[in-house]
Chain A
């Protein structure tokens, strides 16, 4: 679907009704807290990048920037048009509180945060926002923020079967490519697409090394640094990110030390700075997050674009294969594949247990919890589900649950 005009006629009314104009969340103190825990000197680069981003609250780039959500929006197509992609997925309490005005009630905090950010004018410098129809709230989000921004709505459907959908996906991606070219007066083709794929593939290559290193030695790059790197990739220029990440990897190689903590697979809602509550508690409970299955990290970076046929449509199909068919988002991935992915990951990396993490009111994650629990239980894979929100009041209770989980895993090891 191409560009849509939504609430255009009500722009003024909506904006006037919003009181939390110009919010300014301050996450620098939180950021410093994690920076102090870091043992890798070159992580400084990422902390600094985030600090700059948070301080300016906007991105002042030479290139026009395009905001987007979810992995199914192909970053490569945005890059090929010489635009700067910015991932907007957000879990920020100050923004979520402001967002209450736009999306009150029983709506997930991700949508609230995003609404707060847009209506609080933190995204003024974005030239366009691409919103995918992954889940229902996202679909509606396109309308909610349309008075403030130009929106492109991308709906590839909710079936991740490649053979069934390849033609639709190819046409959706091609429409997007054509739209961006026209909208920003660019004329990229096959060469630019290939070059964009090289950049994301380079990132995949580095990410895989880091991922592998952490599964062997989870403490080599602590869990906070790991998610800081992921968050920085939301807005950093990709080549710079690749460069910094490579440095982190080489310094982390010197930090290999074996540890005895139970090794955890963290599955579910993505962990996005500043909402580090789950990893804070995980660490305080004596658990080591050895690896994850989340869309913003593993799901986004693990698979490369594999181009079989280097025509423009061949590349676009390869992008759909990676971003949609290969999606691990519960909106697209069926339960059987999700269960197998978890089981294989646990076996491959010799993990002790699975934490299934879910933000309250996100139905797509929650709805599969009980079934996954049963499937994993039959295979003797220890499983705990944690449902929480952006507030800190339940930290003590979460700690009891994760400590009890740790005690259980330790007793299994004996």
Chain B
């Protein structure tokens, strides 16, 4: 049995596998002491799986905090882990992976051997990431899932001109001040992110299936918004938030 731990900037996830079958998964906020959290959720996962620590042949950590976890045997980056898992979960076929996490948005091209051939990640700023949506959700007095739900009942999505968190925030505040419906603002925000992701996608081969993972895949309406803008069909992988941890476990 093997464990994969994905220590992300917002959430830490743990998956235990037997072969390639998931037997336990746990999740928690990363918080200020991510290593401690990682240990806790590993313990919790072991308990859920009904196994002992000593029964683990391998622990692989990934994510932003991959190097701080001292119990690991190996680290892989979230790019390789997402690629590995997505390839396996899409029936070992080439694919284009979209991974929207707390701090990064990535698009990864995986070839027919399951190897990464190219990837793109947002740079330093939070534009286009889960963090951006979190900040905007706060302005709309909800969370990212609430933001997604609001967007679903938009009648006329507004156009948000910037994915820079600072500019977008003042844009949203001013829209609210002008009595714009929150639903339309939420849809505008999703579209802004989706447009950025669609641009990233355009740098890769157009003829492979697109799969979606990371916490961002759980945001209602984001997938549809990307589909609409990119003109491509997107398949959300099962338990998207755990895909990277699963990828680490099977690495």
Q: Are B118 and A400 in contact (CB under 8 A)?
A: no
* B: number of interface residues (CB 8 Å): 17
Q: Are B79 and A394 in contact (CB under 8 A)?
A: no
Q: In the bound complex, how far is the Cα of B109 from the Cα of A383, in angstroms?
A: 13
Q: Are B77 and A403 in contact (CB under 8 A)?
A: yes
Report the minimum CB–CB distance from A46 to chain B (whole Å). Answer: 31
Report the minimum CB–CB distance from B245 to chain A (whole Å). Answer: 16
Report the minimum CB–CB distance from A353 to chain B (whole Å). Answer: 11
Q: Are B203 and A388 in contact (CB under 8 A)?
A: no
Taking A373-B203, A393-B124 as contacts, is the C-beta distance between A404 and B115 under 8 angstroms? Answer: no
Q: In the bound complex, how far is the Cα of B116 from the Cα of A403, in angstroms?
A: 13
Q: Are B123 and A387 in contact (CB under 8 A)?
A: yes
> B-facing mask of A373-414, CB < 8 A → 1, else 0?
110010000110011110001101100110110011001100
Report the minimum CB–CB distance from B75 to chain A (whole Å). Answer: 8
Q: Are B119 and A382 in contact (CB under 8 A)?
A: no
Q: Are B124 and A394 in contact (CB under 8 A)?
A: yes
Q: Are A388 and B123 in contact (CB under 8 A)?
A: yes
Q: Are B80 and A400 in contact (CB under 8 A)?
A: no
Residue among B77, B116, B121, B124 making CB contact with A388, cutoff 8 Å: B124
Q: In the bound complex, how far is the Cα of B124 from the Cα of A382, in angstroms?
A: 21
Residue among B64, B103, B119, B203 making CB contact with A404, cutoff 8 Å: B119
Q: Are B77 and A407 in contact (CB under 8 A)?
A: yes
B195 in contact (CB, < 8 A): no
> A-facing mask of B138-155, CB < 8 A → 1, else 0?
000000000000000000
Taking A370-B203, A396-B64, A400-B64 as contacts, is the C-beta distance between A407 and B79 under 8 angstroms? Answer: yes
Q: In the bound complex, how far is the Cα of B34 from the Cα of A396, in angstroms?
A: 15
Interface of A is mostly: helix
Contacts of B203 on A, CB cut-off 8 Å?
370, 373-374
* A: number of interface residues (CB 8 Å): 23
Q: In the bound complex, how far is the Cα of B123 from the Cα of A404, in angstroms?
A: 14
B104 in contact (CB, < 8 A): yes
Q: List 12 A-B contacts (CB under 8 A).
A: A370-B203, A387-B123, A388-B123, A394-B123, A394-B124, A404-B77, A404-B80, A404-B119, A407-B77, A407-B79, A408-B80, A411-B80
Report the minimum CB–CB distance from A402 to chain B (whole Å). Answer: 9
B78 in contact (CB, < 8 A): yes
Taking A370-B203, A393-B124, A397-B124 as contacts, is the C-beta distance between A411 and B115 under 8 angstroms? Answer: yes
Residue among A360, A382, A401, A411 making CB contact with B118, cutoff 8 Å: A382
Contacts of B198 on A, CB cut-off 8 Å?
none
Report the minimum CB–CB distance from B185 to chain A (whole Å). Answer: 27
Given A373-B203, A404-B78, A407-B116, 12 other A-B residues pairs in contact with their CB atoms under 8 A: A370-B203, A382-B117, A382-B118, A397-B64, A397-B103, A397-B121, A397-B124, A400-B78, A401-B79, A407-B77, A408-B115, A412-B115
